[in-house]
Structure 1
Amino acid sequence: MAPTSWTLLVAGVLLVLLLVWVTFTLTRLRRLESRVTRAWDVLDVALARRADLLAAVGRERSAELGPDRGAALTGAVEVSRRPPGGDREAAENALGRVLRELPGSLRGPELDDAGWRVGLARRFYNDAVRDTRALRRRPLARVLRLPGRRPLPRFFDIDDGLDAVVGAGRSEGR
């Protein structure tokens, strides 16, 4: 074989490898973006369920809440359903603060379960966002502009008080 034949063969093999990698990466990006969308839908449902349960507590136990705490609860629920300026994180943080201030006698097991579900759904969503952002930030993916013009997904960070509990299974070294 002539040296030019070897060069063409090596170039062809490298081109095929690059095409296989691009196809694999595009498929993985599509799956990760789908995972982000599904995780957001689950998180949105969990947040709505928690707000509905808190609204029910506000309606059914208004006498036990008192006028100030009842108004704060109702206001926080309404703001979380329609956040001003689209700042969902701030609205959910306000709702979480009101929830933490509720006495234990007013919080039922359903409300605690809803809080855990919000924490887990947020964790799954943020994990999907982290994986997607990591793949999209790889140098070759950026150079080839594989993600196109789609914006990077954003993390959803709220103070739900579950970070220490949900992350307790991890060891410090990982």
Structure 2
Amino acid sequence: MTPEAWLLLAAGVLLLLVVWTGWTLTRLRRLAARVDRAWAALDAQLQRRAGLAEELARHHPAALGDDVRSRLASGAAGARAARDTGDRELAENALGHELRELPPDLPGVPAALRTDLAGTQTRVALARRFYNDAVRDTRELRGRRASRWAGLHRRRPLPRYFDIDDRLGDDDRLGDDDRLGDDDRLGDVGAGADVAGRLAS
């Protein structure tokens, strides 16, 4: 090959590297923004769940009993106070456990509050799924050999998965009359889809 051909080949390779680097950096920035938005959505639902649990414990002690009310109030306060990711997971798991263990019959508790709490539980599960999906995609791209060699985003810490048990329980623990009907479930899924659309944009 002539020197000119070698120069053209080198220029082509360099151009490909520049294009790949620019494309990868753009995707990493978008994924980072997606993780941030997903976490904000998840945090909002977790805070709402803690607030509803706190409201239930504060305003309806007779329906819960002293022991259950105390544990539920403590779980809600712990979830609100936790900041570190590991501590937050433990606190949210503790609150989720208390919510799943609520008696099936809660006389005197408004149906609206019970339905709101059940819907929030569903949205927590959806938001956590969207967040962990964003974390997975980010870690996968940053874990590729070429990305590591190029040192792309190496100064930004890897996002962590948020692992909690967000099951609703075998029986919704909210009483037979307050289980979500088909229309309510469609509404919850629609709310999750709205979140998904915002996160994907």
Q: Which residue of 2 aligns with 1:35?
A: 34
| Aligned-pair CA distance for 1:105 | 3.3
What SS does the aligned partner of 2:154 have?
Answer: coil
What SS does the aligned partner of 1:108 have?
Answer: helix
Q: How far, CA to CA, are the matches of 1:124 and 1:62 in structure 2?
A: 35
Q: Which residue of 2 aligns with 1:19?
A: 18
Q: How far, CA to CA, are the matches of 2:54 and 2:167 in structure 1?
A: 20
Q: Which residue of 2 aligns with 1:116?
A: 122
Q: Which residue of 1 aligns with 2:54?
A: 55
TM-score, structure 1 normalization: 0.88
Q: Which residue of 2 aligns with 1:101?
A: 101
Matched-pair identity in %: 52
| Aligned-pair CA distance for 1:108 | 1.2
- 1:139-150 alignment runs, 5 A limit: 139-150=145-156
Structure 1: gaps (5+ residues): 167-174
Query: Which of 133, 136, 161 is 1:127 aligned to?
Result: 133
Q: How far, CA to CA, are the matches of 1:33 and 1:144 in structure 2?
A: 18
Q: How far, CA to CA, are the matches of 1:85 and 1:48 in structure 2?
A: 15
Q: Superposition RMSD on alpha carbons, in Å?
A: 1.6
Q: Which residue of 1 aligns with 2:81?
A: 82
Deviation track 1:70-113 (CA, whole Å, cap 9, x = no partner) reads: 00000000110112866100000000000000123347111110
Q: 1:84 to 1:156 in 2, by over 3 A?
A: closer
Deviation track 1:119-139 (CA, whole Å, cap 9, x = no partner) reads: 000000000000000000011
- The one-letter code sitting in structure 1 at the alignment partner of 2:60 is R
Q: How far, CA to CA, are the matches of 1:21 and 1:144 in structure 2?
A: 11
Q: Which residue of 2 aligns with 1:67?
A: 66
| Aligned-pair CA distance for 1:37 | 0.4
TM-score, structure 2 normalization: 0.77
Structure 2: gaps (5+ residues): 107-112, 169-188, 190-201
Would you say how many aligned residue pairs link Structure 1 and Structure 2?
A: 162
Q: How far, CA to CA, are the matches of 2:51 and 2:125 in structure 1?
A: 16
Q: How far, CA to CA, are the matches of 1:76 and 1:25 in structure 2?
A: 42
Q: 1:33 to 1:11 in 2, by over 3 A?
A: same
Q: 1:103 to 1:122 in 2, by over 3 A?
A: same
